[in-house]
Amino acid sequence: MTALTIQTQPIAGQKPGTSGLRKKTPVFMGPHYLQNFVQAIFDAIGGAAGKTFVLGGDGRYFNDRAAQIILKMAAANGAAKVIVGQNAVLSTPAASHLIRLNKTDGGIIMSASHNPGGPEEDFGVKFNMANGGPAPESVTEAMYQRTTEITEYRISDAPDIDLGRVGPTTVDGMAVEVVDSVTDYAALMETLFDFPAIRAMFAGGFRMRFDAMCAVTGPYATEILENRLGAAPGTVTHGTPLPDFGGMHPDPNPTWAHELMEEMFGADAPDFGAASDGDGDRNMVVGRGIYVSPSDSLAVLAANAHLAPGYAGGLKGVARSMPTSAAADRVAAALGIGQYETPTGWKFFGNLLDAGRATICGEESFGTGSDHVREKDGLWAVLLWLNILAVRKQTVAQIMADHFAKFGRNYYSRHDFEAIATDKADAMMAALRASLAGLPGQTVEGMEIAGADDFAYTDPVDGSVSQKQGVRVMFTDGSRIVMRLSGTGTEGATLRVYLERFTPGPDGLDHDPQEALAPVIRAAHHLARIGEFTGRTDPNVIT
């Protein structure tokens, strides 16, 4: 067995987005494509020699073969050890935990998150730093730069190893430790939540449904919810991870998790419903007959986190992405703790968590987490909800009603226009940006525009600046429109339109969000001229 040096040349388009490099699976399977990017990762972090990494993925198509390639490249680049999940599978939060638990130099996660999987669908690779969080922009930019100049990569000619057998082995002299994917993560959850109280709630007849969407969270949810907490067998549905996610779109929102929504709004619905995504870092929460938006979920979790043992001492602060509603800000203000507004992308929360400024973070895109890892964590959010339900002994609907009565309601929705021609999307955003200076003072749909800008963020910890993070239009009544192009797709551009309207109460807190937001929706279409630029008037997904 020897380390081979393979001649290559740059491949265009290997620029990581908000969560690594994502492309169609056949692209990743093309000659040198994966190898070039992995070598660029190693080169950008100062080499792999003597370092220890975590490796795992969400089990999507090509996950197993990609893992073997990455292991052989790590060995040829001189890595000392790789800790890999059994069968090369790890949820993203579990991978983050293993990086932190074992004090490794980082980890490579193979996932396209909530994107569909399969031979013709999506694949992705990202690097997480030694703190367990996604690589910051300075590192991803270095990776990209390296992909534009790469001339060779190193890979061992060692045979594949059995990743199905837990225990130690080697690849061309490099230590490899195959670990059970679930055990360490489940143990961490037991330190954070009141398992006896949740177990007693289930024993008392509480019923829930967890839709794992044929994705990575299935084994984690089955072990924790059914085996450790005593939820009824069958609580976890679509619990077996499949390379193509069973043909499902593993994105936990009302559109794609429609089976769960139908059950939770149907006759004899369970008390609580939840879903998670392809790699386990996102969550959707539903009560009997009530959908909880991610922005509201973040606010409720922040307001009630002290009920869980791991957060009994209170929170240091709450951080949210800029497009996420301001509901969590109202909780932070009431608690007298820090509140932070960051660009989209979990990597922006890392400095706040590491510096002890924030404890809980969240994004409107169904991501919530805390300082227990440096990734959003779908099952963590579900367990915190269960802990709150067990202590408060109320229904989800009652908890939401109490929350709105106390803090008011931020009506909120996101409209996604997917697979727009990139040139048309860019032209629309350019025109919108050009109009911003003239918007303040104008009245649209009966609402006066108080301000408009292109959000820029200065990190309060390291002083780094991120520009052009999304166009904001703010109205004098507290309503808000945010528009940005997403970096998580693999085809064309996705326009995300975020819509928010605050109602202080006590009246008007129980309207349908789309009805309450109707004037804001019309204003967004008018200001951005969405139909004119894209030819589209209706979004693909509404959340």
* CATH number of the domain where residue 35 is located: 3.40.120.10
- Name 479's Cβ contacts closer than 8 Å, sequence gap at least 6: 447, 500, 501, 502, 519, 520
Whether 113 is catalytic: yes
State the amino acid at position 365 in one-letter form.
S
The C-alpha atoms of residue 457 and residue 466 are separated, in whole angstroms, by: 5
CA distances (Å), 526 to each of 233, 432, 537, in order?
Answer: 50, 11, 11
Q: Are residues 114 and 214 in the same domain?
A: no
Please say which residue of 407, 436, 456 terminates a domain. 407
Q: Decide: pTM greater than 0.85.
A: yes
Q: Are residues 365 and 468 in the same domain?
A: no
Element (H, E) at 125: strand 122-128
Q: Are residues 295 and 355 in the same domain?
A: yes
Q: Domains in the chain: how many in total?
A: 3
Q: Is 459 helix (H, G, I), strand (E, B) or coil?
A: coil
Burial of 286 (0-12, 13-18, 19+ CB in 10 A): buried
309's tokens:
């043992």
The C-alpha atoms of residue 275 and residue 265 are separated, in whole angstroms, by: 15
Q: Going residue by residue through the chain (543 aa), what tens digit of pLDDT does each one get?
A: 789 999 999 999 999 987 899 999 999 999 999 999 999 999 999 999 999 999 999 999 999 999 999 999 999 999 999 999 999 999 999 999 999 999 999 999 999 999 999 999 999 999 999 999 999 888 999 999 999 999 999 999 999 999 999 999 999 999 999 999 999 999 999 999 999 999 999 999 999 999 999 999 999 999 999 999 999 999 999 999 999 999 989 999 998 999 999 999 999 999 999 999 999 999 999 999 999 999 999 999 999 999 999 999 999 999 999 999 999 999 999 999 999 999 988 888 999 999 999 999 999 989 999 999 999 999 999 999 999 999 999 999 999 999 999 999 999 999 999 989 999 999 999 999 999 999 999 999 999 999 999 999 999 999 988 888 999 999 998 899 999 988 555 568 899 999 999 999 888 788 889 999 999 999 999 999 999 999 999 998 888
State the amino acid at position 400 in one-letter form.
M
Q: Are residues 413 and 506 in the same domain?
A: yes
482's tokens:
């945010």
The C-alpha atoms of residue 269 and residue 266 are separated, in whole angstroms, by: 6
Whether residue 428 contacts residue 534, with contact meaning beta carbons closer than 8 Å, is answered with yes
Q: Are residues 11 and 149 in the same domain?
A: yes
Report the 3 state secondary structure along 468-537: CCCEEEEECCCCEEEEEEECCCCCCEEEEEEEEEEECCCCCCCCCHHHHCHHHHHHHHHHHCHHHHHCCC
Q: Are residues 365 and 329 in the same domain?
A: yes
Q: Are residues 375 and 231 in the same domain?
A: yes
Q: Are residues 221 and 349 in the same domain?
A: yes
pLDDT at 489: 52
Distance of CA 532 to the CA centre of its chain: 32
pLDDT at 179: 98
Q: Are residues 64 and 139 in the same domain?
A: yes
- Tell me which residue has tokens 């499902």: 248
Q: Are residues 399 and 420 in the same domain?
A: no
Residue from 19, 113, 295, 479 carrying the catalytic annotation? 113
Q: Are residues 395 and 420 in the same domain?
A: no
Helices in 393-435 by DSSP H: which ranges? Answer: 396-407, 422-435
pLDDT at 79: 98
Angle subtended at Cα 502 by Cα 501 and Cα 504, rounded to the nearest 5 degrees: 155
Whether residue 105 contacts residue 83, with contact meaning beta carbons closer than 8 Å, is answered with no
Q: Are residues 190 and 168 in the same domain?
A: no
Element (H, E) at 502: strand 493-503
pLDDT at 19: 80
Please say which residue of 157, 180, 203 terminates a domain. 180
Please say which residue of 407, 432, 461 terminates a domain. 407
pLDDT at 490: 55
The range of the structural domain enclosing residue 456 comes to: 409-542
